[in-house]
Amino acid sequence: MKFQDYVYTRIEMDDLRTKVQDFTKQLEQADNYEQFYKIYTATNDLFDHVETMMALNEIRYTINTKDEFLSDETDYWDNHDPIYDDIRTTFLKVVFASPFVDELRKNVPETFFLSNENQLRAFSEEIIEELKEENRLTTEYDELIADAEIEFDGKTLSLEALMAYAENPDEEIRKKALQAYWGYFAEHEATLDEIFDNLVKVRDTIAKKLGFNNFVELGYIRMDRFGYHEKEVAEHRRQILEEVVPIVQNLFKAQEKRLELDRLEIHNESYLFKTGNPMPKGNASKMVQIASAMYHEMAPEIGEFFDFMVSNNLMDLESKLGKAGGGYADYMYDYEAPFIFANFNGTSADVDVLTHEVGHAFQFYSARWIRPTDCIGASSDASEIHSMAMEYLAWPWMDRFFGKDTEKYYYYHLANNLKYLPYMALVDHFQHEIYRNVNLTPEERKDLWRRLEKEYLPHKDYESISFLDKGTWWFRQSHIFCDPFYYIDYSLASVVAMQFWLRMQKTKKDGKKAVDKGIMNDYLAVCKIGGSKIFGDIVKTANLTSPFEEGCLTDIMKQVEAYFAGVDDIALDKE
């Protein structure tokens, strides 16, 4: 069945509550484990249907935020998602109190209990109105970004489409494009400040109503952090400051030298080569054709999955007006189908986002067998391993996307991934400070960002866009508004994924379109695990080293630095 044929129906919460109450009574009256498990499974199937409808509406809405019906349904879910949480947590309490719970523990992954115990800790009837307000505010942010229509180069462009000009060979066009891009955020600065201020305060209220000292504590529970906490994350950030920031600064200095600039102003930061950044050859349709052949050669399982995605129209890839920003993968339980959402704009990021989101979607597809379905998707820290590793697994086929620019792409991709590590740490550090100091004014928050930015990204030169010197870069980072404490997961996963890359470097054969069998088997294994194990155990399954293990980051950076030392980047920058 194709995506356009998937049927959406609004879930009426009163009807849902009545059905779940009936199941709950049957659960309490069960005489044996078999009866208990049958009722428990039937209720989970009902919840799967609810969450499929939620996902279906969200996907279609983010594709077209201007659709009135979808907008109304999004408002409905913003208000009724907390009520759904109430219904589900009430049921979970009965499950956990059942005399058959010990038998259930023997038959489902431990992560089911870990995650749902967190859900119980993160929810109470007392916070329903605050949760509605949090949902409303994040939707307001998404709509503000999606509503952008900017006149540039004789066209009306979305923010995502405008960013393609940041890689234009003409420096003046790059500068004007970024000025237009950030001009939109400057125009809406007061609104963005207000949205975020309200989000910080409502999240703090939610946390304190639930008995936490601050939202940092609740944020870790919402993110299902298992096996590590604030102390370990802070240590990870410290290692990035010490081990990664100096290497990244050297990469920026090398870029400045290649571009023959006295200093690297912000409008030149995304432009790595005088001869132009590597650009994919072909439009979205062509890239899907190339990806299809690549995935069939990579592994039969991945080829089968990609055929399923293409034949059922389960991808929306191109940027357009009215479309929400960013990229993501989602999963619809009723159809056992993932979905990939992206915003192609003609840059190499199109290939990165395609391979990245395919990694997420393939993980869902590989683990669709797991029951309960709660454990199909991995927690976000682990799930980013699948996506970021897939970016590297695709390297042997990049010549099909980039032709003569392939070697340039390798440098560009790895350098950018390395440059993002300090930024990821910055976002995480900023959020910790924000939610520990909820009474900061909007100006104090921006001052905080700029101060931390000078630690993690000391090269930033904002002379051509003074608005950013105020500490406003984070306005564009949707995770800060909509998914607090998510962003460090990219850093943790990146350190793990780079180990796949390092193993590939040791086993590659020139001209061979393949990934070493042992590496591929490890990747397929972690995808099949889904969310049935916690982050640390998934890393072990892949025969990799945890980013929290002492010396892990040091060892990886030594090898990455050696790679860059062996590349003649000046030679790459010649036609």
Residue 509: pLDDT band with limits 50, 70, 90: low
> What mean pLDDT is predicted for residues 92-100?
96
> What mean pLDDT is predicted for residues 357-372?
97
The answer, yes or no, to whether residue 449 has pLDDT greater than 90, is yes
The model carries a pTM of 0.95
The answer, yes or no, to whether residue 12 has pLDDT greater than 60, is yes
pLDDT of residue 484: 97
| DSSP state string for 237-280 | HHHIIIIIHHHHHHHHHHHHHHTT-SS--GGGTT---TT-----
| DSSP state string for 159-218 | HHHHGGGGG-S-HHHHHHHHHHHHHHHHHTHHHHHHHHHHHHHHHHHHHHHTT-SSHHHH
Share of the chain above pLDDT 70, in %: 99
Interacting residues of 60 by C-beta distance below 8 A, sequence separation 6+: 8, 67, 70
Interacting residues of 562 by C-beta distance below 8 A, sequence separation 6+: none
Pairing of strands 155-157, 337-344: unpaired
> What mean pLDDT is predicted for residues 210-214?
98
The answer, yes or no, to whether residue 411 has pLDDT greater than 80, is yes
> What mean pLDDT is predicted for residues 313-330?
96
pLDDT of residue 46: 98
pLDDT of residue 512: 67
pLDDT of residue 575: 64
By three-state DSSP, how is residue 157 classified? strand
Share of the chain above pLDDT 90, in %: 97
Taken as a whole, the chain contains a residue count of: 575
**Omega of the bond prior to 278 within 30 degrees of 0, cis?**
no
The answer, yes or no, to whether residue 63 has pLDDT greater than 90, is yes
| Mean pLDDT score of the chain | 96
Q: How far apart are CA 534 and CA 243, in angstroms?
A: 27
The answer, yes or no, to whether residue 101 has pLDDT greater than 80, is yes
Q: How far apart are CA 100 and CA 31, in angstroms?
A: 10
The answer, yes or no, to whether residue 511 has pLDDT greater than 70, is no
